[in-house]
Amino acid sequence: MLEIIYRDADLIAINKPHGLLVHRSSIAADTSEFALQLLRDQIGQQVYPAHRIDRKTGGVLLFSLNKEMDSLIQTAFAENRIEKEYLALLRGHTEPAGTIDYPLKKENGTLQDALTHYTTIALSEIDLPFGKFPTSRYALVSARPQTGRMHQIRRHFAHIFHPIIGDRPHGCNKQNKLWKETFQHDTMLLHAKNIKFEHPRTKETIFIEAQLQPEFKRALNIASLDVSIEI
């Protein structure tokens, strides 16, 4: 049963679990469950994905309940009129705040402007040897992508040498292996925390927030980050 976190006459949002694809695709030969079909069957009516989040990412996933709203809300996403906030657990200690302005290549090689703002929420250092270091350092950050490129947040944090824990292929394979072998933990620690936008029909300000999934909470405990931190 999917967790429904918002619903009105036109829109519905769920807290998508990590590992669940939004819909069927050519990369989905290994799975038979998809958020779109599960939600459709759960509420007994057609739904239309308003946007995409990675299979490995958990958190807010918005759907339209009719074709008219589908067109309106997809346009709002395309025009960057929807504010998005993500939480990520990163390797290393980040700066208190920063902006990553780094163009990203599309599959055809075309460069696209890409901009991500981030704020560090908390830092930790735990007694876990890593390579030549006697400890491991981590950062919990809030990320606000200003553009919406494929794997933008994942690629941007890798670019500044603070990859997301559990990210493949953009992350740190050695750190990912360490977490899997030491903690039996291989979830990618990126969470779509909230979205904010003007409702295309009612013109109200809509704010939708998703609580952290259990895997993310366990990771914060592992990294000695207080899960009660106001995030």
- Residue 93, both tokens: 């200690």
Residue 172: what are its φ and ψ, rounded to 5°? Answer: -95, 110
- Alpha carbon distance 62, 36 (integer Å): 10
Give alpha helix (H) positions in the chain: 35-43, 67-78, 152-159, 173-183, 214-222
Indicate the burial class of 144 (C-beta count within 10 angstroms; 0-12, 13-18, 19 or more).
Answer: middle
Q: Which amino acid is at 164?
A: I
Q: Which residues pair with residue 136 across a beta bridge? A: 126
Q: Which of 10, 54, 70, 167 is catalytic?
A: 54
- Alpha carbon distance 20, 34 (integer Å): 6
101 as an active site residue: the answer is no
Other CB atoms within 10 Å distance of the CB of residue 143: 23
Q: What is the C-alpha end-to-end distance of the chain, expressed in Å?
A: 25
* Catalytic center residues: 54
